[in-house]
Structure formats: structure tokens, C-alpha cells
Amino acid sequence: MQIYQPLCGYAYNSDTLFLYHFALPLIKERSRALEIGSGSGILGLLCARDRGLELVMVEREREMAIYSEQNARINAIEAKVMERDFLSLQIGELAPFDLALSNPPFYHRNVLKSQNPSILAARYEENLPLKECLLQLKRFLKPRGSFIFCFDAKQSDRVFFELKEKGFNPETVRFVHPRITKEATLIMVQARLSSKSPLKVLPPLVVYEGEDYSSEAKSIFKAARTHSIKCQL
């Protein structure tokens, strides 16, 4: 899959590919899916490619919305792209979804911020606070709809609290560790509305073995089959 990205703006990284790999077994064929904050569109497009999704991508930054639309067209994947702030959507604008996907901004407001507008929008949680995102998402999911996303592993306690408080039950989680001896840096979560299923904690994903990528990380990159192309609109 060819993915066009801005020369100087936000670019996807391995976190998105790991989230795609985590999400795929949890997605039914032909599901109706919403991607929140699509950026270049890579997460939703990969899942749509492999699961035949009816995909809607919402992206508030005009430049990135154009990339999402262009990447869908180039890769011959049908997708609707909305240049909107997800939090501004009103009930009735979109039909209910089976699931939502997101690699949301989760950097804390006190972290030193980039001056690049697209990086600023993609990285810092103040642009899409988790609490507000969950409240809004409940309006657009079907009664037992799922939310599949990733977040800063150090904020896992808050993630679980916010999910439970907003009526989402975490069903599946997996932690990502840069090395087997290092703390987790990322948590990947599948949560469902109106669910009472017990939590399943999958074995950790370890990114590096020695100086090279781990065999699992390599297999994920191979399955994604992405080719990034930097360009200017």
C-alpha cells in the first residue's frame, strides 16, 4: 500500500502498524467503521483493505484530510473522508458504526510542544481529550459497538477509569515494550459498549531484539506492506 505523507508534517510510525495488527483479529468482515483523526489514513485503510470495511474517516486538519482522501483513491479503497473536528459532529450526520479506530493524540499538555501545526494536532491530547472523545463516540456507535485504540502505557490507569465511567468495558489489551527489559510505552485496547466480558491481556509485543527488530515486529511490517512517500500538496 502506497501512503503519501507531508514532507514536514506528522508522519505515521510503527505504533500505527502495531495497532493495525492488534485490531485486525477483532474486526468482522464488512463492518461499518469510523476512524477518528485519520491523518494520512493508514490505519483505517489497512483495516479496510484486509476486512472490506465500510469506512468513514474524520480528520479536522485540512492538509491531512486531503492526504487521507488521496491515499484512499490511490489504493482503490472506497472511503468517505470528512474534514471535521470529531467533537463537533452532531447526531444524525452519520449512521451508527460497528466499531471505531483511532491512534489518538495522547501527549500530556505539559510536554514540550512542536511548533508544526499538524504535529501539534496529532500528538497532544488537548486536541482530542479522551473523556470528551468517549462521550462523543457513544453517540455514533451501535449498542455493542467497539472502540479500538492505543494510548500512553503510563496512563493506563486513567484509560481504564475513563472507559468504565463512560460505559465501555475493556475486553482486550496488549502492551508494547521497546525491549523485553524495558517498561511498556504503549497500550493497545479494544473496549465495547454494554459488555460484561472479562478482560483478556495478551502477551506483550516486544519491538527490538538486540539491535534489530523482533521477529514479530518484522512480520507485522511485512503484513502491512506499506510504502511511505513524502510529498507536498
Q: Quick one: pLDDT at residue 117?
A: 56
Does the residue 89 lie in any domain?
Answer: yes
* pLDDT for position 130: 95
CATH of the domain at 20: 3.40.50.150
Give the span between the Cα atoms of 42 and 38, in whole angstroms. Answer: 7
For residue 232, being part of any structural domain is answered with no
Residue 187 is assigned to a structural domain of this protein: yes
Residue 214 forms part of a structural domain: yes
The confidence score (pLDDT) of residue 113 equals 47
Give this prediction's pTM.
0.92
> Beta 97-102 vs 32-36: how paired, if at all?
parallel
Q: What is the predicted pLDDT for the residue at 7? A: 87
Residue 231 lies inside a defined structural domain of this protein: no
Q: Does 142 reside within a domain?
A: yes
Query: What is the model's pLDDT at position 140?
Result: 98
How much is the pLDDT for 109? 55
Q: Return the C-alpha cell found at 33.
A: 467503521
- Taking alpha carbons only, the member of 67, 66, 27, 64 closest to residue 48 is 27
Tell me what pLDDT residue 182 has: 98
Q: What is the pLDDT of residue 73?
A: 98
Q: For residue 171, is it within any domain?
A: yes
- The confidence score (pLDDT) of residue 86 equals 96
Check the CA dihedral 204-209-212-216 and report its sign.
negative
* Domain of 30, in residue numbers: 2-226
Grid cell digits, residue 206: 516486544
Predicted local confidence at residue 125, as pLDDT: 64
State the CB neighbour count (10 A cutoff) for residue 1.
Answer: 16
Kindly state whether residue 233 falls inside one of the protein's structural domains: no
Q: What is the structure's pLDDT at 126?
A: 76
Listed as ranges, residues in the chain with pLDDT below 70 are 106-125
pLDDT, residue 11, reads: 85
**Quick check: 175 and 127 in contact, CB under 8 A?**
no
- Structurally, the chain folds into a number of domains equal to 1
